Structure 1
């Protein structure tokens, strides 16, 4: 059973029950207390699957009221997936765009996303005419049902819609964060908080040391000034990347590399970040137990991986991870999927040799005998196969992989060849990569680099995109098991963090591997591949690794 809904501006909303094909099963009806109605419906014997225009806009106000939805169909996320299969990946996917497209009208541009202010995390203003929006939503949903011809794609839509719920819930719960610990860690790293416009003490000391090494003062934050200083010192460089600078024999190198490391932390996650992105927790304004609430963008990367809209949630520096600290009496459970993408490749390709090794806890160690006992060589070979690497001894190791694991090799090589010839590839459940641009077709006749780059993109797309589908499926299962036992508060590609009362931690840790195994079965049925997802119970994120 499905029910389409649109909220109004007064806490109520319009609902319409739908048949399985998306056609209306009843007339639209209005409810004065939308959250209360949904709460009651969610406790019924048969819970509806709610059809929403866009979860990231509709769900947060309901969460504020304490309402939790079990299953949804997100029309915007669905449209983006369907567009990818129709060779239109990246086109506007919102409700208005979908409705215009199906009626042959000019398609409006997608609204620009902006990093939100913390007191207005979402633009939650309801439609000016929610009943008219409901009619549009029902029509778009029915059109999407008619365009859906593949069972795997239907499962992807269900998983992606679940991801929309999870993303909103993670922002609502927030990642537990200690302001006092963050401040102390920053002080230890770069010195006390400086006056506005000044460098912290330790950064200034390093800047002075760099200037002294070069014999003149300059700004180490300016890439061009750094390049010019090395040129004048007889060391021409093309960029200020660490790998290029680190090989230079000059007394400025060590303090400069340290300066760049600390300046990056101070700039991206310093006191300004703490002010802008860490907000009050459930214990109030003056309590150090606060919350970091990033805005997750489901399917924000073309492969289906998530992104974030500001806040740098996917690049939390290791030096600051102790500030991600459980509340008193609570614990964090941190789990990351070991060697996820190589295991996914083993399952997708049905390569018996690789799949057998992927039943072990350490895939690279299990493959080491194939590479003369070297775990590192096994890792290089697998990563080079997935990402198209040829540096160092990768070419020789790839020759071994091609001979020993022919199906896995052929799988990624086929994807690469398809991309190099301008074709499209899809993930396991059916998300399709964007077509090459007109610029690529023009460059293709002039340079082989464009061809190789496209091949590297498509060979990685099939693996990374399927890994993203596995992660979505795992989280959907885990969310169903958690309920009131704990909160999913963080997700990054292959890593999750759960915040829970200490008494529930051991039980939840068992759920995590159960969810991983369920996701593997759903996607790959009876594969011997195992994807370990072992949770570690800690007080703070810094203890996890």
Structure 2
């Protein structure tokens, strides 16, 4: 049985070479199939090795997997060379590897954007395209070599497997789509904004609010969508404001505050998720966003259009399960503090994490007086607050949880020195800029000006706050990816094909037949437990979930 099957298109893309490889990437066989026969061959291999299928190795899941899904073929495991290269190229755990030390090459260029609704798995390839000069077999061997020689090969293997599975999940969620009731969405917009206008006019409710703003500011010609015009009108009323952000507006004592904030909120809804968004993104009862796996430096996902990661509460009632189906919605409660407890091995903090509400557990332990204080203190530790309530509460947290606080403080100091930090499984932060490293060197030399030293220290502190958060947010992203990979595997064994339809950092939504929601809910919880064990072994940290089975996403608690 092959450990890997390498999928390589043959220019001009009418045939595909499949190379069977053992666990060391030594070739054990190869064959050529027509591109349009590839889905049938993939299905044959998956069926022949059910329970222990090979990893399908290809250059980019974004471009290769959608056509398989269109043909009704799903794979269990893969190895995405593009995503794995990006991790290994920059991971400090394998910095001495040939892959990390090599000069920039074709695998360092981002993969091309896939053509929507591609008719075949491998469309004709331009001989000058990056994919045409890449050697996928050599790249796979370089990647396996980098992992084998790394400081933590087991962790890196888990990270690469989770990242590659995440790419499969992203493609599958796009293919299946998030159930979306366009009529409900239209009703929400009409209730909030008024009937749909035509010709670019403002909806009735927005126009009425605009008139209220003009009246309050004594500016009959004001366009409230123009920040310069709005800023000028506010200053004419005697306010020394620097921007038109809602944070500054909230602090004003003026009749314009209420209607202006309401206008900004509804205007944002119209532009981000209004009728134009509905026309563009929802078809046949499904919203199909384009997820970007690893789109953030910490490993978190991003989205390319559609705003999948920023669905406002106002429109979530439009996310409706199909008749006879339900939505199983789960999010990991206070994920980042729990991850910090597990990473640091801080048993006292782990004990607080045994509560469903970690912040309440910290307060109950007497570390700080209230749950609110606990939340401020914990977020201050993770994000590096230096002023306000968070900074004042930090000493209490440091005394109660010294190992946890020492971990993030150490990451912050490393960042301030210009060093790289690394997540639990092996994703490393971007290096400090050349300008900052030069400034740090100059600031320690003779003759450094006081102003330059102060500015350098400020920039170093900014980077320290980034690296402090990087190790926690990045490891939380790894936990979430393992959670989702485990859940995907478990869902494949449940009748009726329940499937993932949405993912948001620490939250998942499964579209499930109504009669198997108990099984799906158990799978969601078991997958969270498995993710914790995969990353942290027997660390005494519980990853609590808030879980709901609902008909509408808005009903999830």
Is the pair's TM-score, using the shorter chain for normalization, greater than 0.5? yes
Deviation at 1:461, TM superposition (A): 0.4
TM-score by length of 1: 0.91
Contact 1:443 1:450 (8 Å CA) reproduced: no
Deviation at 1:49, TM superposition (A): 1.1
Given the superposition, is the C-alpha separation of residues 121 and 428 from structure 1 closer, same or farther in structure 2, using an over 3 Å criterion?
Answer: farther
Contact 2:368 2:396 (8 Å CA) reproduced: no
Deviation at 1:84, TM superposition (A): 1.6
For 2:446, the equivalent position in structure 1 comes to none
For 1:5, the equivalent position in structure 2 comes to 7
Alpha-carbon separation, structure 1, partners of 2:464 and 2:111: 30
TM-score by length of 2: 0.89
Given the superposition, is the C-alpha separation of residues 136 and 350 from structure 1 closer, same or farther in structure 2, using an over 3 Å criterion?
Answer: same
For 2:449, the equivalent position in structure 1 comes to none
Alpha-carbon separation, structure 1, partners of 2:120 and 2:230: 41
Decide which of 425, 428, 432 is 2:424's aligned counterpart. 428
Decide which of 29, 47, 57 is 2:53's aligned counterpart. 47
For 2:74, the equivalent position in structure 1 comes to 68
Contact 2:210 2:263 (8 Å CA) reproduced: yes
For 1:30, the equivalent position in structure 2 comes to 33
Alpha-carbon separation, structure 1, partners of 2:306 and 2:409: 37
2:290 corresponds to 1:295: yes
Alpha-carbon separation, structure 2, partners of 1:252 and 1:123: 56
For 2:234, the equivalent position in structure 1 comes to 230
Q: 3-state SS of the aligned residue for 2:532?
A: helix
Q: Deviations over 1:250-306 (max 9, x none)?
A: 1111100000000000001111111111122xxxxxxxxx11000111100000000
Q: Deviations over 1:39-82 (max 9, x none)?
A: 11111234111111111110000000110101111100100100
Contact 2:362 2:368 (8 Å CA) reproduced: no
Alpha-carbon separation, structure 2, partners of 1:326 and 1:124: 34
Alpha-carbon separation, structure 2, partners of 1:111 and 1:78: 12
For 1:286, the equivalent position in structure 2 comes to none
Given the superposition, is the C-alpha separation of residues 126 and 301 from structure 1 closer, same or farther in structure 2, using an over 3 Å criterion?
Answer: farther
Given the superposition, is the C-alpha separation of residues 111 and 158 from structure 1 closer, same or farther in structure 2, using an over 3 Å criterion?
Answer: closer
Contact 1:88 1:434 (8 Å CA) reproduced: no
Decide which of 457, 481, 506 is 1:494's aligned counterpart. 506
For 2:403, the equivalent position in structure 1 comes to 407
2:15 corresponds to 1:17: no
Matches for 1:193-342 after TM superposition, within 5 Å: 193-216=196-219, 217-280=221-284, 290-342=285-337
Deviation at 1:393, TM superposition (A): 2.1
Contact 1:15 1:134 (8 Å CA) reproduced: no
Alpha-carbon separation, structure 1, partners of 2:553 and 2:289: 17
2:528 corresponds to 1:516: yes
For 2:434, the equivalent position in structure 1 comes to 438
For 1:454, the equivalent position in structure 2 comes to 463
For 2:372, the equivalent position in structure 1 comes to 376
Contact 1:60 1:122 (8 Å CA) reproduced: no
Contact 2:180 2:282 (8 Å CA) reproduced: yes
Matches for 1:179-198 after TM superposition, within 5 Å: 179-198=182-201
Deviation at 1:197, TM superposition (A): 1.8
Given the superposition, is the C-alpha separation of residues 315 and 79 from structure 1 closer, same or farther in structure 2, using an over 3 Å criterion?
Answer: same
- Which stretch has the larger CA shift, 441-450 or 150-159? 441-450
2:489 corresponds to 1:480: yes
For 1:344, the equivalent position in structure 2 comes to 339
For 2:137, the equivalent position in structure 1 comes to 138
Given the superposition, is the C-alpha separation of residues 525 and 326 from structure 1 closer, same or farther in structure 2, using an over 3 Å criterion?
Answer: same
For 1:287, the equivalent position in structure 2 comes to none
Deviation at 1:329, TM superposition (A): 1.1
Deviation at 1:37, TM superposition (A): 1.1
Deviation at 1:194, TM superposition (A): 0.8
Unmatched segments (≥5 aa) in structure 2: 444-451
Deviation at 1:236, TM superposition (A): 1.2
Alpha-carbon separation, structure 2, partners of 1:255 and 1:124: 54
Contact 2:294 2:300 (8 Å CA) reproduced: yes
Count residues with an aligned counterpart.
525
Deviation at 1:24, TM superposition (A): 2.1
Deviation at 1:385, TM superposition (A): 0.2
Q: Deviations over 1:65-105 (max 9, x none)?
A: 1101011111001001001215999xxxxxxxx99x99857
Alpha-carbon separation, structure 2, partners of 1:29 and 1:124: 13
Q: Deviations over 1:381-400 (max 9, x none)?
A: 11000000133222221000
Deviation at 1:449, TM superposition (A): 1.6
Q: 3-state SS of the aligned residue for 2:7?
A: strand
For 1:389, the equivalent position in structure 2 comes to 385
Alpha-carbon separation, structure 1, partners of 2:426 and 2:144: 15
Unmatched segments (≥5 aa) in structure 1: 90-97, 281-289
Alpha-carbon separation, structure 2, partners of 1:195 and 1:440: 51
Contact 2:415 2:466 (8 Å CA) reproduced: yes
Alpha-carbon separation, structure 1, partners of 2:211 and 2:489: 55
Deviation at 1:123, TM superposition (A): 10
Alpha-carbon separation, structure 1, partners of 2:293 and 2:368: 42
Deviation at 1:181, TM superposition (A): 0.6
Alpha-carbon separation, structure 2, partners of 1:473 and 1:393: 34
Q: 3-state SS of the aligned residue for 2:27?
A: coil
Deviation at 1:462, TM superposition (A): 0.4
Deviation at 1:13, TM superposition (A): 2.6
Deviation at 1:109, TM superposition (A): 7.3
Given the superposition, is the C-alpha separation of residues 103 and 514 from structure 1 closer, same or farther in structure 2, using an over 3 Å criterion?
Answer: closer
Deviation at 1:371, TM superposition (A): 3.5
2:83 corresponds to 1:77: yes
Alpha-carbon separation, structure 1, partners of 2:29 and 2:162: 27
